[in-house]
Amino acid sequence: MSKEEPSTSQMLPLALGVGIVVASFVIYKLYFSRPNSSKGTKGRKVLLEDPQVKYQLPLIEKTVISHDTRNFRFELPSKDHVLGLPIGQHIHISARINEQMIIRSYTPVSSDDDHGYVDLVVKVYFKNVHPKFPNGGIMTQHLESLKIGDTIDVRGPSGRLQYTSPGTFSIKKCVRTRPPLLRPLRST
């Protein structure tokens, strides 16, 4: 049996195919594997720049969704501001209620593309509804009692999980550590 060398005309389709695959991979990495804020923060006013700072936000709208669920809309400092909450993170709301500092975590339902406001949908746990919890939810009842113009203290972003790009996320080991970059395992 004689071995024949492949001709140039036979190698051309193979080389072209490999080139297309490599070029597609490079284009994907350059344009689609960027961090989660595709618009970036350049040119945007972001409220949550420091997770240790509390920001006061006034209630501008309260919508009744059901007998025990409300949509609370809070105003950001300007119509140009966005909250600046990365995907997978949450905010802390704090209030002094009956001489006690109460802090609860919430995930807004508004998008980071929404300028000038942040929305929270909250189930209100009223007093004397559930026998195991006769006092109800302290923070949710406080939110329910707010009148238009009343303020809440918000800080964040907070949380161990952060979505960074398509198929990529990071998880902090504890609150004070820098998160390592993790990619999901894919079976082939």
Q: Count Cβ atoms within 10 A of the Cβ of residue 79 and give its class: 0-12 exposed, 13-18 middle, 19 or more buried.
A: exposed
Check whether 62 is labelled as a binding-site residue.
no
Could you count the other beta carbons within 10 Å of the beta carbon of residue 101? Answer: 9
Check whether 55 is labelled as a binding-site residue.
no
H-assigned helices in 33-170: 138-145
Q: How far is CA 59 from CA 6, 23, 39, 143, in A?
A: 74, 51, 28, 9
Check whether 79 is labelled as a binding-site residue.
no
DSSP sequence for 18-32? HHHHHHHHHHHHHHH
Check whether 154 is labelled as a binding-site residue.
no
Spatial separation of the C-alpha atoms in residues 153 and 56, rounded to whole Å? 5
Check whether 121 is labelled as a binding-site residue.
yes
Check whether 104 is labelled as a binding-site residue.
yes
Annotated binding site for FAD: 104, 106, 121, 123, 126, 139
Annotated binding site: 104, 106, 121, 123, 126, 139
